[in-house]
Structure formats: structure tokens, C-alpha cells
Amino acid sequence: MEKVQRKQRDKEFITDPGKKLHIIGKFLLKTDLLVRDTETHDTVQLLSVNKDATKILVQGRMAEQFKLNAHIVLYKLLARYVELECEVLEEKPNNQFIMQVEHVSIASRERKFTRIKPPDGSVWITNLRTSRTTIDANLFNIPTSVKVNFADTERTLKPKFDIVKIDVFNSIGDKFDLVKKTGKILYIPNTQKPDSYKSSDPSGFIDYEHELGDEEDVRKKIIEYANQKIRSELIVPVIYINHDEQAIPIGYVHAQNKNREIDIAEVMEIKTLTFDMVDRIRESNTILVKERFAVIDLSTGGLRVKINHPDLNGELPRRKGFTFDIFFKMQSPITAYGVVRSIARDTDGNLYVGLSLEGNSARPGEKKRFIDNVNRMLSDSGAKVG
């Protein structure tokens, strides 16, 4: 089982052989241990441990349950989470296995959320949405969808302004760097009026007077614009919201006029066009998978799913998270954003993905409905709720 842990569990590694033997001999011997990242929550019984706690003998549940040299994680939830990381050394008769104990660890604190395995077929996820190509602020590789949408929108705007350009951010000057850094609009309705360099809405517009420095700096900028014969200027950032819910400034719309002012209505029109561009880029850059994937276990904080799909097996390990719909049997879907906390891959290529539910749902009350469903399952199973 190949495993990638995104967020390491806070745990204490036990290195002293005497302490290892005490933990295994007193708390785990002759008990059932769960096998990590198996769809049916496989278990083994720990039959014996040697004197220096380096080897254990376990009773499996089926023939060839483990492959030789496979790395297996066995665990048990006592007052705290206890974990044995092992390597399969030998298979004995009657489905017994000798394992090398590589690490023994105990969680530093109790598990925050109680997990439960739902009844087969009662919970699944579908409509997984993630990115085809990573779009980030560096834009080392500019996706074709970005170039096409920028070019189409630029053609639409060209008849309306003397100069218009839509492009990705590069190191092309202080004004553009300022727009990229702040994510705000630079709008100078009349470059020859000092008041135009101020902002009445600092939450959405750059106060260019403040950024330039003082009145003398503004005066120099007025002269510079006069020499360039530019009457009005506008730079609107294109803010891409990726599937990890990150806001990334990927480009800009730059408009200039020589003889008339750009009015605020045109500013709002261009801002709306940037939203449309981002929507189209997201749509063309989105992988949508409508197949069902089983939920292996879940808690009020998240869930773990088994996934095997050609478009996802290579992509998900590289993603911070993704959006999907959770279905509880006989209920309408719950739209959620899951942050990938752990990924394991078995020898058959199946992914076991642990997700914590974060971000805002598309519909009010979705997280509460999820928690209510999980608490009902916990209550039905006799587990502690709350």
C-alpha cells in the first residue's frame, strides 16, 4: 500500500523496546486490529510478539490476505489511537503472518471526530469536479483556454476604446504589479485632474495618489500622461477562483482613451466581463466525473472514499482538494468541498482518499445536514455522539 499523508497526525513514536513490548503485550495482544486503507475494514488478531517487540504473529481472515514484503498499517482506537507500521515477512499455515514491526506510535491526543463505517450502498459521492491543468499566479504554462478567452474578449472591447489589451501578468511595470498584488482596479477617469488619482472605494479600487507618494509625484504622473496623450486609463484584474477555492490574479484588462474619459459604467461592464471570462476558463479547465464512489467511513468532520478512475487517479494526488456531491440514500445531494488529507494507493491502483469538509456549501444548511446524517448513523450504531 503506497501512502501519502497530507496532514500528519500528531503522534508520539515509541522507540524504547521495553515500552513497545508493554504497549503491544498489555493492550493489543489477543485483540483484533484494523488494517488501514482496506475497503471492508479488514482486521487481524495479534497472536504473539517477540521479546524485543520487533516481530509479531497475526491471524489473518483469508488466504493470501497480505503479499510478502508489503507494508501494512495496523491500528486500534483505545483511549488514544495506537498504530503499528509493519512489513510482511512470512506467511504461515492457517492464514497466519509474521510481520516486522517498523514503528509503534500513539496519537498525542484523542481523535477529534468519531468515525463510522456506513452500511453498504448507503452513502456515496459523485459529480467530482477538479482542474485539468493547474493555473497559478506564476503561469509558467498558460492553458489554451486562457489565451482563447482573453483574445475573444479583447476583440469584443477593441471598438469601444482607443487602446485595449488583455494579457497575463508579467513583470511589465509598477501599475500592473500593483494591480496583481492588490487584486484591485486601477481607475484614473481623467489623468489631468489630481482628484482622479484618489479612490472613494479603497476596498475595490487602488488609491493611486497614496501609492505614488505625494503631490509632486502626482504632478509628475500628470505630465507623463500628457506627454503620452492619454486622457483616461483603466486596469482591471482577472481573478481566477480555482477548485481549491483560491483567488489567483492571472491577468488584466487594460484600456486607455486619448480624447474622452472612461466612465464608471464601462468599468463595471469590464469587471463583469472578467467574471464571464473566468467562468468560461473554469468550465473548459474542469474535469467532471459523474460516476459513484463508495464512502468507506465518515465522521462529522469528513469522510474517506475509494476511487478508481482514469481521469482522477493521476490528478487527485496533486490536488489540494476538490468539489463533489455527497448522497445519503433516499436524500437530495449535499454539495461539499473536501481538502485532501491523506491518499493511499493499493496494488490494484485504487485510491483511498481521506477528506476533511471545508469551505462554504453551495446551499445553506448543507454542512448541518451532513452532520445530522452522520450523528444519526453514530446513534444507530451505539457510538458516542457529540
Q: What DSSP letter does each residue of 6-37 carry, written as one string?
A: SS---EEEE--HHHHHHHIIIIITTSEEEETT
Beta strands in 93-162 (DSSP E): 96-107, 123-131
- The CA-to-CA distance between both ends of the chain, in Å, stands at 33
Question: Given this model, what pLDDT does residue 291 score?
Answer: 95
Question: Given this model, what pLDDT does residue 9 score?
Answer: 52
Q: Which of 10, 68, 6, 57 is nearest to 33 (CA)?
A: 57
Question: Given this model, what pLDDT does residue 171 score?
Answer: 67
Cell of 72: 501494512
Question: Given this model, what pLDDT does residue 16 score?
Answer: 93
Question: Given this model, what pLDDT does residue 385 score?
Answer: 56
Q: Cell numbers 498489555 label which residue? A: 26
User: Is the C-alpha dihedral spanning 169, 175, 179, 185 positive or negative?
Assistant: negative
Residue-by-residue pLDDT tens, the chain, 386 positions: 555 555 445 678 999 999 999 999 999 999 999 888 776 668 899 999 999 999 999 999 887 889 999 999 999 877 678 999 999 999 999 999 999 999 999 986 655 667 888 988 999 999 999 887 777 766 666 778 888 999 999 999 999 999 999 998 876 668 999 999 999 999 999 999 999 999 989 899 999 999 999 999 999 999 999 999 999 999 999 999 877 777 889 899 999 999 999 999 999 999 999 999 999 988 888 889 999 999 999 999 899 999 999 889 888 888 888 899 999 999 999 999 999 988 888 777 889 999 998 865 556 678 889 999 999 988 887 655 55
Q: Which residues pair with 255 in a beta bridge?
A: 164, 234
Show the CA angle centred on residue 58, arms to residues 56 and 61, nearest 5°.
Answer: 165
DSSP character at residue 85: E
Question: Given this model, what pLDDT does residue 87 score?
Answer: 95
Question: Given this model, what pLDDT does residue 384 score?
Answer: 59
Question: Given this model, what pLDDT does residue 380 score?
Answer: 80
Show the CA angle centred on residue 221, arms to residues 219 and 226, nearest 5°.
Answer: 95
Question: Given this model, what pLDDT does residue 333 score?
Answer: 93
State how far the Cα of 221 lies from the Cα of 208, in Å rounded to an integer.
10
| Calculated CA dihedral for residues 134, 138, 140, 146, nearest 10 degrees | 60
Which residues contact residue 213 at a Cβ distance below 8 angstroms, ignoring those fewer than 6 apart?
Answer: none
State how far the Cα of 324 lies from the Cα of 334, in Å rounded to an integer.
8
Contact yes or no for 87/258 (Cβ under 8 A): no
Q: Cell numbers 454542512 label which residue? A: 367
Question: Given this model, what pLDDT does residue 347 score?
Answer: 73
Which residues contact residue 92 at a Cβ distance below 8 angstroms, ignoring those fewer than 6 apart?
Answer: 57, 98
Contact yes or no for 113/105 (Cβ under 8 A): no
